[in-house]
Structure formats: C-alpha cells, structure tokens
Amino acid sequence: MQTIPNARLWRPHGWHDGLKLNFDSHGRITRPLAGGTTSQRVVPGIANLHSHAFQRAMAGMAEQQTNPADSFWTWRETMYRFAERFTPESLHAVAAQLYSEMLEAGYTTVCEFHYLHHRPDGKPYADPAAMSRALIEAAQETGIRLTLLPVLYMTGGFDGRALADRQRRFGHDVDSYLKLLEILRTEQCDMVQIGCALHSLRAVPEGAMRVVLDALPADSRIHIHIAEQTAEVDDCLAVRKARPVQWLLDNAPVDNRWTLVHATHLDDAEVQGVARSGATVAICTTTEANLGDGLFPLRAYLDAGGRWGVGSDSHISVSPIEELRWLEYGQRLVTRRRNIAVTPEMPSVGANLLHGVVTSAAASTGHPIGTLAEGEFADALVLDTGATQFAGANDDDALDRWIFNGNRNLVRETWVGGRCVVQGGRHFHSDAIADHCRAEIRQMLEA
C-alpha cells in the first residue's frame, strides 16, 4: 500500500484537510487516509489536451518577419521545412525533452496530435508505426500519461486539392490510416490510450470522415482542429455553405468523446451548440497568441456550461500556468474588466480555471483522471508551499497565488499513477534527456 504524503487536498468542490492519497499497484486511488494538520497542498495533475511534440524543437525560430503580412499561414511554411528533418530517433529525443518539461511544469497527461507519420518523401517506414512508437517510448521514458492521436490528413484544402510536397509525410488513405490505428491499439495500457485525430475539415473529406468514425471503437476519443483561423471559416462557408463548427455539429455525432481544438471563431449559435454537445474545447492560449489566431469567447462559453481544457500546442510555452493566466488575461483585455472566469459560487479565478481543466480531463483523454476521486489514477502535484509566493496563504487564495504570482515554477513534486517522477522541481532523468535532445537538434540544424 502506497500513499502520496499527507496534505491539504484540493478537489473540484474545494480543499479537504489533512488527507493522504492511498493507491493500489496500478496507481489508482483506493481511499483517502486521514492525516494530521499540515500546510502542504496537493492538487490534481493537469492534462495537456493538445501537443505537436516535434514543434518544441523550433520554438523561437519563427519570430523573424518573412512577409509584411506574416500570419499562421506563413508560419506554417517554416514549420513544414522544419518537419522535413525529423527521424524516429530525433522525434523521440525532442518528445522526451518536452514531456520531462511538461511533468516539471505540472502536466501529468498529454494528448499527442501526431501527423508526422512517414519519411519526408511520403513513403512509409518499414514499420509504418515507427514515428508513433517514438512518441510512446518517449512517454514511457519520462513517465507521462499519453493519449496518442494519430492524425488522418488527406487533402490540402476544402476544395480537395492534393497534399503539397511538404505535406506528403503526413498523408494516409483511409485504409492505411485504420490499419495504423489497429497496430497501435496493441500498445494500449494503463499509461497509453490510442484515439483518433481528424486533422481538420479542410484535410479530411466528408466521405472519409464518415468511414473512419463508423470504424472506431465506441469509446474512442476523437480530436479535430477547427475554426482556428478566419480564413478557414471563410473557406468552409464558400465550399460547404456553413461555418466549420456548425457544419461539424450538423454532420457528425459530436458528443463527450470529441475535443474541438481551438474553436476560436464561434458565433453565438455555435457556442451554444458545442456546449450542448458535451464536447471539450482545447484552448491553446499561448500558441493562439503567438500565431495571431484570435481569442476564444470564454465568458459566453462558460455561461453556456461548456466543457474546456488547455493545450500547449506548438510549445512556445510549456506551462499550464501561463496557458491559464493568459486565458483569463486575454478576456480582461477584450472586456476591459477583471476577474472574468468566475461564478457566484466560486469567486476565485484560480479555482475556476483549475476546475475547468481537471473536470474535462477524463472525457478528452480517455484516461480515468482529473479530480483525484476514488478509482482514478493518482496523478497529483505537490505545491511548494514553502515558497514566499504562498506566505500566509489560505484556502480562498492559494490557487490564485499559484496561477497569478510571478514566474517561478511552484510545483515541487509530480506524481503520475502513484509514481513520483519530479522531485524538487526536477525530473529524475532531466540531464540525460536534455543532453540527447541538444545533440539531435544540433544535428538537424546542421543538416
């Protein structure tokens, strides 16, 4: 019998005094044990709902103007050039570095939206799952919980054009894609779930989408990029005669298995429709800001009762705190008001933000995680309450201090499935992982 140390434990309805999390040999919580009074605080681990691991290697390398009208679309060309350089070995090295950083920052699960499938010329590797296995191995090396989402990517636009040369390594036909999913499902275990990702409506024709959805297991998680850019909305209106989110709601069985990534550009009807569907929106605040995408209509979505979480996407930041902080700050800048993400029952912004990300985790990832309830995996963060940022903290302001008080990482320990993988703010294998990653990135840049 193992436990996470005695602490004041936060669950979605507030703090619980002096509890130890007791868990079984699989790392699932069995029952809390009473403990003595303590100032230590434990909160649920955070699920990162959207990741493109390879893009961590290019963070900071697309910040020089290449066009007076630089946008997501010009950034994408830089990303494509960088993507051409990856091998299974370099992807493993970069992903392991990223995942160790995530664990140190407080992410305990990652949804990997993976489309770097083949060789740069588009030909499959001898093992068609080689790039996927590199990500699974990186997750196992670091100890992060993984939802691997192999991506179906078929066309270069709503008009059905063929993939461009730089997109060739992303592509599958329906049969080869379903075969990849079948191969990868043999890797499923307590720490790894295999879901499905449809890259976007512009990249997956309607007929192919229907065939794939019909072939998926009933409990498969389904993620899709949608309504990230206004140009995408305009193109969808021109070709499919509907806005992308509305088209999806009208033409697919969207429910709580679905995660809509970005969904930045919504009208009022779409806000209500997504909330009613039970789907989760994965908001990637720092990437959406970096790419100039726009701001998600958070207050309207919260009022509609919508489910949401966060993702670090392109990994120009690997911090759930920054994602949450700037999710709130963006709304303040638009409304010129403060304290937006609150409810009458929960006036703390920090508590509401944490409530949002932990209560969406299980539905979006497919893992029984998120709220530290009995039967869930013991994925938890021990906060560094000895830090000056927590001096004199109480139940009302502890979470606000964690999220809105400076830039020091205040996660002291990270536990995944009852296993401590970060101690003193450092991943156990961070030095070796970083050495390997540095060597691979230098080799890619020299090529």
Q: Cβ distance 222 to 363 under 8 Å?
A: no
List the catalytic residue out of 172, 262, 367, 436. Answer: 262
Question: Which segments within 248-314 are labelled E, that is strand?
Answer: 258-262, 280-283, 307-310
Burial status of residue 43 (CB atoms within 10 A of its CB: 0-12, 13-18, 19 or more): buried
What's phi and psi for 247, nearest 5 deg? Answer: -60, -45
Q: Measured between alpha carbons, how far is 151 from 52 in angstroms, rounded to an integer?
A: 11
- Closest C-alpha among 365, 392, 369 to residue 379: 369
3-state SS, residue 283: strand
Q: b or e along 99-119 (b: 16 or more beta carbons within 10 Å of the residue's beta carbon)?
A: bbbbbbbbbbbbbbbbbbbbe
Is 262 assigned a catalytic role? Answer: yes
Question: Which segments within 52-209 are labelled E, that is strand?
Answer: 107-114, 145-152, 192-194, 196-198
List the catalytic residue out of 313, 355, 367, 384. Answer: 313
Q: b or e along 324-348 (b: 16 or more beta carbons within 10 Å of the residue's beta carbon)?
A: bbbbbbbbeeeeeeeebbbeeeeeb
Give the DSSP letter string of 238-251.
Answer: HHHSS-HHHHHHHH
Element (H, E) at 173: none
Torsion sign over Cα 105, 358, 404, 285? positive
Q: Cβ distance 155 to 203 under 8 Å?
A: yes
- Closest C-alpha among 149, 150, 146 to residue 136: 146
Q: Measured between alpha carbons, how far is 211 from 154 in angstroms, rounded to an integer?
A: 13
Sequence-separated (6 or more) residues with CB below 8 Å from residue 426: 104
Is 223 assigned a catalytic role? Answer: no
What's phi and psi for 3, nearest 5 deg? Answer: -140, 155
Catalytic residues: 262, 313
